[in-house]
Structure 1
């Protein structure tokens, strides 16, 4: 939703806290509070502590808002959920790694078989 006389930003553009507040309907103080509660939410801060939210920050704010307002999570519940996801996301299990390796090996073998003279 663009304001009168203000052009709408591109999808991947950074947002200020005011812009994000208008887009999500969340007050600015709530966004600042969430920064203290969710270590995953770290917008860029420039001179004068001006915040710039990246697209992944915006997606996280929307996710937190959905979990709290629509799915009934508490702040602590969302913290635990995000912490668990962060741990899972950084270290895939051995079975997953082997499946990816086998899939890549199969793809390479098929590519080599389709090239004449190899």
Structure 2
């Protein structure tokens, strides 16, 4: 009977692509430090690994794919964290947070635009 469980290691001792990865394994696979992966969890709500007892993280295949996409955008294509957040939000169909340029374009007057930008910055500082 052939083994069809993708979560079992293959003959070379490597995990199958569908297997859960710990943060250490993902860090080694991607070359990203563990603290960066934990930071990304706070900035990208789409990145939600399973957490077991002792807050041990287990990344699913879709989490791993998302980490690789975020890494591509940030470290290879030069996007900012905010830019990647907007890209991911747009992909999911969620409304992206407007930036200052969009606020100015939609504002009725310069003062309205400045007040909206000030409110956006105050909100961001309060969230930080």
Check whether TM > 0.5: yes
Cα distance in 1 between the residues matched to 2:44 and 2:71 = 12
Greater share of helix: 1
Could you list the structure 1 runs, at least 4 aligned residues long, displaced by more than 6 angstroms after superposition: none
2:42 maps to 1:67 = no
Q: 5+ unaligned residues in a row in structure 2: which ranges?
A: 1-11, 95-128
Partner SS state of residue 93, structure 2: helix
**Larger of the two Rg values belongs to structure:** 1
Cα distance in 2 between the residues matched to 1:11 and 1:41 = 18
Aligned residue in 1 for 2:44: 38
- TM-score of the aligned structures, taking structure 2 as reference length: 0.63
Aligned residue in 2 for 1:80: 86
User: Post-superposition shift, 1:58?
Assistant: 0.0
Aligned residue in 1 for 2:61: 55
Aligned residue in 2 for 1:28: 34
Higher RCO structure, 1 or 2 (CA under 8 Å, sep 6+): 1
Cα distance in 2 between the residues matched to 1:22 and 1:70 = 18
Partner SS state of residue 14, structure 2: coil
Equivalenced residue count is: 83
Aligned residue in 2 for 1:14: 20
Cα distance in 1 between the residues matched to 2:54 and 2:13 = 25
